[in-house]
Structure 1
Amino acid sequence: MIQSMQLGQAVPAKTIQTQPIEQKTPAELTQSFGQYLQTALDSVSAQEKNVHKMNDQYLLGKVDVTQVLIASEQAQLSLQFTSQVRNKVVEAYQEIMRMQI
């Protein structure tokens, strides 16, 4: 059972050593977000190119139709996700612009 404890008997738990948080400027944050978006767009583009290459290989009989369909669906999902992220960014920007100062 739980026993009562005097206030002076309480022993503090181990203190957590935290690392100082890097303070970034808004320009650095914008640049890193821009780099993240560019990397995501490059990835989607690479997937689209892969689908086109696999379609060509399918026509030559080198790959199975299931591989082409899987690659096509992955590229389609990536494109849909990217467009949804873009939509959310635009909505956030519009919301910020509606704020009164």
Structure 2
Amino acid sequence: MIKPIGDEASLLNLGQPVNLGQRMPIDLSQFGRADDQPSFSSLLKQALDHVNSLQQDSSNRMHAIETGASTDLVGAMIAAQKSSLSFQALMQVRNKVVSAYEEVMRMQI
């Protein structure tokens, strides 16, 4: 017998965005007023710093597992996946920026 859909559907949160962990923090407080727009270079630097911190955290956790100082293998693997995904996303952004730059350079005035 087929069971009718009831409360199980509300558990799925269909149509709701999935939270895959923390998002990259962007500190806009350094820009002062709401009128000030952050520069591309400052946002890019914050993104690079965030990816770097994720990779360092992953490296430290893996080193702790390898030396026996920690038994949190799951936490180390999650940190490794977070750093890997953030690096891949950063590389995609870099590829798009380089592609846009090359296209602008090909334009004739």
Rg bigger for which structure?
1
Deviations 1:39-89 (A, max 9, x none): 111111101110111112223242421111100000000000001000000
One-letter amino acid matched to 2:50 = S
TM-score by length of 2: 0.61
1:49 alignment counterpart: 56
User: Structure 1, unaligned stretches of length 5 or more?
Assistant: 1-21
User: Structure 2, unaligned stretches of length 5 or more?
Assistant: 1-34
CA distance in 2, matches of 1:70, 1:80: 15
* Structure 2 residue corresponding to 1:73, chosen from 68, 77, 81: 81
Alignment of 1:12-91 (within 5 A): 32-59=39-66, 60-91=68-99
1:93 alignment counterpart: 101
State how many pairs are aligned.
Answer: 74
CA distance in 2, matches of 1:56, 1:99: 49
Q: Which structure's relative contact order is higher, taking Cα pairs within 8 Å and 6+ residues apart? A: 1
CA RMSD of aligned residues (A): 1.8
Tell me the percent identity. 38
CA distance in 2, matches of 1:61, 1:45: 23
- Given that 1:54 and 1:68 are in contact with CA atoms closer than 8 Å, whether structure 2 keeps it comes out as yes
- Given that 1:54 and 1:63 are in contact with CA atoms closer than 8 Å, whether structure 2 keeps it comes out as no
TM-score by length of 1: 0.66
Structure number with higher helix proportion = 1
One-letter amino acid matched to 2:45 = Q
3-state SS of the aligned residue for 1:47? helix
